[in-house]
Structure 1
Amino acid sequence: MRAKDIMTSPVHTVAQTATVESAAQLITANAVTALPVVDGAGRLVGMVSESDLLWHRVPADPTAHLNRLPDTDPANRPGMVAEVMSSDPLTTRPDADVADVAGTMLETDVRSMPVVEDGVVLGIISRRDILRAMVRSDEVLTAEVQHRLDEYAGGHRWAATVQGGIAHLTGVFDDDPEQGIVVVLARTVPGVAAVDLGATRPNGG
């Protein structure tokens, strides 16, 4: 399963020149925890999260306002996203394996990663996206794998059954290339962990 299979797209982005308040509104309105930040050409330049936006708005010390600390003084608060965003964010590619993406998220304690190609944000993948894909029932996966195979074949040539995330396929293949295509079709269904072939070629080949 690849990042492009489960990423959210199109993705909500915010300009680096946008106000902190407008970024906060976007995050709240779209129920996300972070937004990719783009420049005037639409290329990724950073990420801004809920914590980035709150850092200069809510003091860690409830009594900080009494001492007029620079970080919490309204006169010194950053106004633009570029001033509070995290530069050089972790990104992933559309063809990245979801298991690798999940590992990176856990190791670096990030909740979402932009999916980028040639500097352009194609989507975003979050921990929630990964969990949603991984917890799909075998019945749902069976139906989706079967649909993909039937659509490719133009009819019912192979039977699919998913058990424990493993897609078991039975039927007849014309040749190795066709077998390879069928395996790829089944393997790319989000939630399918592996493919088991019980199929054979004609005449036992």
Structure 2
Amino acid sequence: MAIEAWFMNENTTTEEEDQRLPHHQNPQKLVSLEYLADLGILYWKLNPENYEKDQDLEKIRESRGYNYMDVLDLCRPAEENEMENYWQKLKNFYREHIHGDEEIRYCLGGSGYFDVRDKQDRWIRIWMKPGDLIVLPAGIYHRFTLDTSNYVKLMRLFVGEPVWTAYNRPQEEHPARKLYLHKLGQPHSS
């Protein structure tokens, strides 16, 4: 089964709303893999049970030059005194930003949402579940949050040394943003 994605209800993206909910439009408006590919988003469905020996994952890593990997476990803590840090971390991941490089994530367990902006600046919510590997292109506005399961285990892949610098919106003058818009055939707004 392919990844699930949909246009978000724009009226529910305020800070008062629980970011971990699906926020579907009514009626739901699903987004196809082709639509995501048109935004430069790549997708593979792999076997997370065998990720350490998965030949398909190795082929992807070799063909795209992903020579560094780590694993991130994000979950709601059992200890009440750690909750403030947890919510702050979620809030930080949920800030709209870009990166100067691709963002590559492979869901090994749990689930969460990557939200991306389309060409009309609308939010698309991508629901990552075990086996989903996505590549977000450099320069695309996006954010991340857990869903109500409050747990995700993600493999992060990088070309070379890991760099995870987030540039919060607006970043229209950032070289990665300009290149991304150029690839989409959209004019750069100065």
Structure 2 length normalisation: TM-score? 0.24
Q: Using CA pairs below 8 Å that are at least 6 residues apart, which structure has the higher relative contact order?
A: 2
Higher helix share: 1
- Structure with bigger gyration radius: 1
Higher strand share: 2
Structure 1 length normalisation: TM-score? 0.22
